[in-house]
Chains A and B, each alone.
Chain A
Amino acid sequence: MHGQPRKAPKPEDEAASAAKAEKLRNLQSQFLCFHHNNIYSKEALEVSARLLENNPEYYTAWNYRKLAVEHRLTQSESDPDSDSDSVNSILNVELKVVESALRQNFKSYGAWHHRKWVLSKWQSSLDHELRLLDRFQKADSRNFHAWNYRRFVASLLNISEVDELQYTTDMINKNFSNYSAWHNRSVLLSNLLKRKAQGFFPKEKVLNEEYELVHQALFTDPDDQSGWFYHLWLLEQTVKADAPLLVSSWPAHDSNLILLGDSCLEDSALSPFNTFHSELGTIPLVVYFNKAVEGVNSSTISVESVLNTKGELTWKPLSTNNSQTAQVWVTYLNYPNIKLHSSEFYPVEVSVGHTPGIISSSGFHYSHPSRFAFKVFVRPFEKDLAGHGVEMVSWREDNFLLYESHSQESNPILSLDQLNIKDDHEESSSKWRAETIANEIALFRELLSEINCKIGKLTLARLLIAHDMMLSPIANKMVHSEEVIQLYSDLMKLDSPHSQYYKDERSLVLLQQITSNRESLLRYCFRHGDRTSSFLGNSICLRLNNISLSRMGSIEKLLWVQMLDLSHNELRSMEGLEAMQLLSCLNLSNNKLSSFTALGPLRLLKSLKVLDISFNEIGSHSIDTTRYLCSSPLSHTEEIDWSHDETVTGDVNQTNYWEAFLIFKDLNLTQLDIVGNAIADEKFKSFLVKIVPTLKWLDGQELQLH
């Protein structure tokens, strides 16, 4: 129906055109008469053939010819004089009709289908079909009917996938830009690699050859898209790891955790990175995988400790949309009643995946059983300090002091190396991976030194990231970060319609760089200098403020953070933050948050007390622009106890503020700053005061106790 070749209407053609139409109309009515009277005479067949040659779309005539073929085949069967030649001639005529119809319109569904029908009854010679295909594929190398027919012929006549692969090579060599050929190639290769066909194992050798082939295309015309898309597919085949892996945990392996009661004393001997304050009588235990998994439970993860006295642990997926699949899972260890003046270490050992059951959403099993251990030191707290009272947290600049580390401190930031899982039997392939990617990097650098090509820059950036990710456990730094950041900055200028995408990618790289090693991360760690605040005590504040972040990342390395300053960035969503289960103070002021929905992940942060979302864009946009990044709590079934809440909110109509309500009702905030958002008027503030009964400070004002 689409892509009919159509002549421009020129006046001199009109008469001829009208005559042709008249002729066709005549053919049609003659044809319909024969068809409806089941006449299959020579003359009738001739009429239908002429009709189809002029209008191959006339599918009723194709069906008529099928009936005619059946009719004539039956006749010749009952005729003792007939031989296989007559059958051949009947079917040969059909192939000829199809060919002339295709010459008129090679996008005709009916014609191609009729040919398939003939072939499935009676096999024409292989050569003949392939020659025909060659002709049509030369005329239009992207014609999907021809490609479909090719696959049909190949499977009907048992043409090997290797031969078909060779055909795509020929087509590609003739014309690099033929994406249909590249696509068919990727499909064929996937099959051959999957069944480890002869000559297609190991896959490393095969993929190397593919890289060579695609380089020819890319270097011949870097502006043509086809090769780049194939290159992307190749890179995916090179780096993809199917099985899920554990990438980090909290508490980290080998760490000594110091657990404090509901108040604490200054003690410079304690490492602030490992000190944890809990009012709830529990310690969160967080496991972070490289991809979303299901099946995390007390049988797939065993926890050996005296701390969990209450029987089996319940693991919860940290997912914002009630899914039972998540990248991050949490459970809570109860610590025993602390006896005054008795200080003890409690060892905890966690084994992940020794019993099968953890499965990625694509069905791959967790196959690297791993173990991590830590110790919990429970500090007795002193009752007389407990009622000391909480004070307002100030984010003022002069309250922060760059953290100076003591070398003797054990530091959980380093624990990532210890958790790194060595995979011996994949060592040779990982060496190949590294070499391949290094080779690609060198090539594309060369290409880009000669031309300015945006897709080349993007590919180089992706290769460099893949390279660093592969080596990071050993090199412990992102060696190419600067180059990648420069590439994305270039791309933002070169391809401004997609600048937000590049900006997001750049943010991720920047965060990988910051978190890649202890030294660089410590440059962002500050002591909160407000010494009078006993609430914060030894806490360290990670300050990632004012560094043009548009997206948060590398959270697997930040699970220990209790105080986080992300102010003065360009964040639009809090995606991923749900994993930071220790977070109690969060500064998001002066970002680009445009709705409460964007704060959705914060609902899962049970320790969050202090939140600053001042000077964002909440309420300024009628349409929420973040939903694709961050799910809406309303999009899933949730049991909300409206009846209970009605008594709390009284006359305030919470449906006006349902988004805010769903975020804040789960949080126990004591301090909130919301000034500088379009939504934050007096009415809204009084609504907040009612739904967050724990709130003590709102926009810097101490609330009167009701």
Chain B
Amino acid sequence: MTAATTKTQQEQWMVENQVFQIFDLFADLPRNAKSALVELQRDNHLEYLTKGLKRLDPSFCVLDANRPWLCYWILHSIALLGDYVEHEVEDNVVDFLSRCQDPNGGYGGGPGQLPHLATTYAAVNALITVGGERSLSSINRWSVMFEVSHFCNSAYWSHFEPNDMDSEIFCREKVYMFLKRMKQPSGAFRMHDAGEIDVRACYTAISVASVLNILDDELIQNVGDYILSCQTYEGGISGEPGAEAHGGYTFCGFATMILINEVNRLDLAGLLDWVAFRQGREGGFQGRTNKLVDSCYSFWQGGAFALLQRLHAILDEQLVNYSPQTGVASDISGGEESSDGVDDKTCHFKLGGTNASCPVNLNSIGYNFVKQPGEMEALYHRWALQQYILLCAQDMKGGLKDKPGKHRDFYHTCYSLSGLSLSQHSWSQDEDTPPLPNAVMGPYANLLERTHPLFNVVLDQYYEAHEFFDTP
């Protein structure tokens, strides 16, 4: 028997070596130097982010179809750091995103591009993060649309009624019409006209509808069936039926099921089992079985834990039927879903201390979810995750990266910080109690703003938007 090693294993060892070298180095340092190393380099991060917003590096042109994403990643990161951008920059962002808005609803990856669900999600979240009347009402601003009209022939605009330009309800209806157009007979959503169908599309559609207060029974119809068909026997959720479970899709599918009030249909015990196994020796999470650690999963996988924390009632119930001997759910019945509770229109988690069998207002689920106290501790090694983010994913010159040896970018900055925030706040039982100092690795000044675990926008900004869109 000769023990050869696979390439995957060699890569894994290389990453582990790099990570453990950092940890060993850290362990040998004197106390003062230690606390300096685990400090979040706020100023440098802010500088990196602010610069990025003002002038994007030319190499980012591959992201030209994803420009609202850049706005969201940067603005959300800045908001997590508790800072704001200058008014002028904010105005520019709002103007730019308005130009990405399609006259028939939804946002494209740039001016003149087709509306796309993912960029609609990014644009809406970015505008909520900017906040304020101008930004929030821009989701419905129509006059700006003409700025892009030099690309367009007039016929394209002929159906457009200028009288409705300032009508918020009409405009939000446009987003709604876009979402409806993306909805498939199967229940799932397409990313864009003639685009791909997957779990990502379901999440971005439902998240946007929920946060804009336009979610209704028609939009959620059969979405749950589609997500369920993507939960694999491993417990995680895949991008489309038949594929293997994946961290990003697991978060998307899981959050969607909560927002449509059907989360009890998922095998949560299996999901917990899968996601718990994705935290590796490095402290960070991997995205799939036997893949390398990557800081962005601090949010995608860590976020699933943040959601599970508030679902202990359903989790408890399901754990009764769980066989801990093999770690595999004992009730796998060839993909057949459990028959319970589909028509059961009660809230599946406790709502702010009220009676749990209340009638459901779909659009208040996201609000109530974050208002109720997390009564269960997060079930992953939070300290190890924070250590990985601060020591291994942080570029001391600003920005965060996937893993040691990689380069910083806005995507990893956004999702590392989002994951760090969830981890720091997972100790506090409710939003009014700040986390204890021992919940925050490094100096207490490392504490980030709280983010909404379903929408991933900073909580204060979320509340403002919630109030703003409160009208049905």
The closest CB in chain A to the CB of B339 belongs to A363
Chain B positions within 8 Å of A222 at CB level: 3
Interface residues of A in 323-351 (CB under 8 A from B): 323, 325-327
Chain A positions within 8 Å of B296 at CB level: 2
Chain B positions within 8 Å of A699 at CB level: none
A109 proximal to B (CB < 8 A): yes
Q: Would A58 and B5 be within 8 Å (CB), given that A190-B334, A224-B290 are in contact?
A: no
Interface residues of A in 442-494 (CB under 8 A from B): 447, 450-451, 462, 465-466
Q: Would A20 and B290 be within 8 Å (CB), given that A60-B108, A144-B243 are in contact?
A: no
B244 proximal to A (CB < 8 A): yes
Q: Would A221 and B3 be within 8 Å (CB), given that A147-B244, A364-B333, A635-B350 are in contact?
A: yes
Q: Which one, A172-180, A397-405, A540-548, is touching chain B?
A: A172-180
Contact of B312 among A451, A622, A635 (CB under 8 A): A635
Question: Complex: how many Å from CA A391 to CA B270?
Answer: 49
Report whether B65 and A55 are in contact in the complex, using a CB–CB cutoff of 8 Å: yes
Closest chain-A Cβ to B340's Cβ sits at a distance in Å of 8
The closest CB in chain B to the CB of A4 belongs to B62
Q: Would A14 and B320 be within 8 Å (CB), given that A57-B63, A221-B4, A631-B313 are in contact?
A: no
The closest CB in chain A to the CB of B248 belongs to A2
Interface residues of B in 328-358 (CB under 8 A from A): 328, 330-334, 336, 338-339, 350, 355-357
* Binary per-residue interface labels of chain B (27-65) against chain A in the complex, 1 for a CB within 8 Å, 0 otherwise: 000000000000000000000000000000111011111
The closest CB in chain B to the CB of A360 belongs to B331
Question: Complex: how many Å from CA A679 to CA B127?
Answer: 48
Report whether B320 and A194 are in contact in the complex, using a CB–CB cutoff of 8 Å: no
Report whether B246 and A144 are in contact in the complex, using a CB–CB cutoff of 8 Å: yes
Interface residues of A in 227-282 (CB under 8 A from B): 229, 232-233, 235-236, 239-240, 242
B462 proximal to A (CB < 8 A): no
Report whether B375 and A194 are in contact in the complex, using a CB–CB cutoff of 8 Å: no
A6 proximal to B (CB < 8 A): yes
Closest chain-A Cβ to B301's Cβ sits at a distance in Å of 13
Closest chain-B Cβ to A79's Cβ sits at a distance in Å of 25
Report whether B312 and A631 are in contact in the complex, using a CB–CB cutoff of 8 Å: yes
Question: Complex: how many Å from CA A212 to CA B352?
Answer: 54
Question: Complex: how many Å from CA A13 to CA B320?
Answer: 59
Report whether A8 and B312 are in contact in the complex, using a CB–CB cutoff of 8 Å: no
Chain A positions within 8 Å of B377 at CB level: 623-625, 627-628
Using a Cβ–Cβ cut-off of 8 Å, how many residues does chain A contribute to the interface with B? 104
Closest chain-A Cβ to B60's Cβ sits at a distance in Å of 8
Contact of A180 among B114, B244, B333 (CB under 8 A): B244
Question: Complex: how many Å from CA A232 to CA B289?
Answer: 13
Question: Complex: how many Å from CA A460 to CA B63?
Answer: 49
Question: Complex: how many Å from CA A451 to CA B409?
Answer: 41
Chain A positions within 8 Å of B339 at CB level: 363
Chain A positions within 8 Å of B4 at CB level: 220-221
Q: Which one, A24-32, A412-420, A524-532, A555-563, is touching chain B?
A: A24-32
Which of B152, B193, B196, B377 has most chain A Cβ within 10 Å? B196
A433 proximal to B (CB < 8 A): no
Contact of A33 among B151, B244, B246 (CB under 8 A): B151
Report whether A17 and B58 are in contact in the complex, using a CB–CB cutoff of 8 Å: yes
Report whether A632 and B239 are in contact in the complex, using a CB–CB cutoff of 8 Å: no
Report whether A325 and B8 are in contact in the complex, using a CB–CB cutoff of 8 Å: no
* Binary per-residue interface labels of chain B (438-450) against chain A in the complex, 1 for a CB within 8 Å, 0 otherwise: 0000000000000
Chain B residues packing against A (C-beta within 8 Å): 1-9, 57-59, 61-66, 69, 108-110, 112-114, 116, 118, 151-153, 156, 191-196, 232-234, 238-240, 242-244, 246, 248, 288-291, 296, 312-313, 315-317, 319-321, 323-328, 330-334, 336, 338-339, 350, 355-357, 375-377, 379, 381, 384, 407, 409, 411, 427, 429
Chain A residues packing against B (C-beta within 8 Å): 1-2, 4, 6-9, 14, 17-18, 20-21, 24-25, 28-29, 32-33, 35-37, 54-55, 57-60, 63, 66, 105, 109-110, 112-113, 116-117, 142, 144, 147-148, 151, 175-180, 183-184, 186-187, 190, 194, 219-226, 229, 232-233, 235-236, 239-240, 242, 291-292, 319-321, 323, 325-327, 360-364, 447, 450-451, 462, 465-466, 497, 505, 622-625, 627-628, 630-632, 634-637
Known: A1-B66, A183-B234. 7 other contacts (CB 8 A): A21-B61, A28-B64, A57-B65, A110-B196, A239-B326, A466-B325, A627-B312
